[in-house]
A and B are shown apart, each in its own frame.
Chain A
Amino acid sequence: MFSEMFRQKGFGISIGIFVILLFAPSFLSRFYIYFLAVIFVTALLAMSLNLCVGHGMLFQFHHGAFYGVGAYTAGLLLAKTAVPWWMAFMAGPLAAAFAGLLIGMFCIRLNRLYFGMLQISLGSLLWAIAFRWYSLTGGDDGIHGIPIPDFIASTTGSYYFVLIILAICLILLYLILKSPFGSTLQAIRDNPERCAAVGIHVRRHQLKAIVIATFFGGVAGVLFVVVEGSIFPDLLFWVLSLEVFIMCLLGGWFTFAGPILGAAIIVSLRIFVGSIHNIGPLENVGEYWTLILGIILILLIFFLPEGIMGYNYRKLFHSRSKYATESGTE
């Protein structure tokens, strides 16, 4: 089962990067360790979304809703009950997958475009509930100071925890994509009508993909709680979902690891932009982050529709384009 993975070209590079990341905390400041941890969490979120979008062509426009469900479930259980931490951590992804199943069941019956529209609306209901149910969720303020077990509460501790979980999830996602399930999902992406004609229950298969993707989205949500120690309704807000979508597009949505690159770029950009002050009449450029996001998206649509990795892949392997471009690993 693992031997295919070992033989991939990108595997060696990945191991190398992983080892470097393992030793990173010893020569980075606390801020950068935190910064990397945030990238890891976002990368997992983007990877989970891409299972639907890039490999399934499902217009999962409000994936953030499931991220939020995972975070809120784990966060609320930790903050308000005496449930042991590992149970709370497991409840998050399970709740997210359940929400994914429910919302997915409604959305899957419509065609692609409406799937996305309806999901935005249904997911926003969750945001509205979290926003208004002050007594349970802390409303707009959210909940801060969530008790995280000691061994992962520190910046370095959370860093390692997130890194290891991310690595495990990436391996799982890779295996899933290379399995018959993943292969069939990509076939559905390319030609759902043909798939039905060969006996595949297209809607059911897509729904399963959604449940898997939202499960991993929930894991990302739990990791968010570990890194930040708090939860707020913004996690469930639709624009965040758009941001994750853009990460997948930017990195390369038909490749395996593209979303990781996209996440790293967008998170870095966001933190960089947030630190700029006093450009012309704008006091705080970070306040107009959505404007910048919109411009990035337009540039992507017009100039780089397959994302950075998609473009590189095509350029590098142009001479071999006759041969199959599997969703490669980097």
Chain B
Amino acid sequence: MLRVENLHKAFDEFKAVNGAYLSVEKGQLVAVIGPNGAGKTTLFNLICGQLQPDTGRILLNDEDIAKLPPHIICRRGVARSFQIANIFPRLSVFRNVQVSILSQQNLSNKLFRPAERLVVEETKRILESVGLLGKEMDVAGSLSHGDKRILEIAIALGNKPDLLILDEPTAGMSPDETATTMALIQRLATEQGLTILFCEHDMEVVFGTAQSIMVMQQGQTIIQAEPEAVRQNSEVQQAYLGDA
């Protein structure tokens, strides 16, 4: 479904992404791991259009999306969440999710119908599936950190994506919250048939859930394989796991 080939992105002298390869099959749960500064977030930014690569290809269903702007890529069926909670702080939780549903259903431009009454069912359904249903009238800025991260995912879900890209979804969460969130992600994958690509720090989390793991270091892909193969790989052990 998604294939990244030999991606390069440099900021002046600094090579953030220096030869990245990734392959995501439909229905898979794929994880990208790597130490801080490995280029994971930059890679996601390149895939989703926030940045444009210097060279390389990004193929979404065989279409090269490397030069497309974010909103067009979203229309192709990709939704993402951000590493730093990127919600709409002044709006209510309900409206946060509603905005993305309205966008997906092409209703954003309707001028004379009350927004309160539109797509209420869908919004509530998504809020329920992520466990935020009791809090829909709260101001998003006042949520706890963990809830904000979940709201991030909920907003992405509003786009009814085929491919869901999550940038460090459990960053800053307690072990309990992490477990709940990972369970949620797995549930989404199985129940809604979503293809999910995410990146993470926490090794336990990744090895427990992902079907395919891509390891990045200093902007390069070291390997992508099933969890066991990755765990056995000597390069990975040396670079990442060994010193952990």
Contact = CB atoms under 8 A, between A and B. Distances in A.
**Direct touching of A and B (C-beta under 8 Å):** yes
A186 B110 contact: no
A193 interface: yes
A183 B99 CA distance: 7
Contacts of A183: 95, 98-99, 102, 115
Nearest to A182: B115
A176 B108 CA distance: 12
Nearest to B158: A198
Contacts of A324: 91-92, 94-95, 137-139
Contacts of A195: 71, 99, 103
Contacts of B139: 321-325
Nearest to A172: B112
Interface stretch (B74-82, B124-132, B183-191, B199-207): B74-82
B112 A176 contact: yes
Contact of B70 (A196, A205, A323, A326): A196
A206 to B, nearest CB: 12
B90 A325 contact: yes
B89 interface: yes
A199 interface: yes
The secondary structure that dominates the A interface is helix
B112 A1 contact: yes
Given A180-B110, A181-B110, A197 B142 contact: no
A191 interface: yes
B127 to A, nearest CB: 14
Interface of B: 48-50, 69-71, 74-75, 79-80, 82, 86-92, 94-95, 98-100, 102-104, 107-118, 137-139, 142, 155-156, 158-159
Interface of A: 1, 4, 175-176, 178-184, 186-187, 190-191, 193-202, 205, 208, 254, 321-326
24 contacts: A176-B111, A179-B112, A179-B114, A180-B107, A180-B113, A181-B111, A183-B102, A184-B99, A184-B109, A187-B88, A187-B99, A191-B88, A193-B50, A194-B86, A195-B103, A197-B82, A197-B86, A198-B99, A198-B155, A198-B156, A199-B71, A200-B108, A321-B142, A322-B138
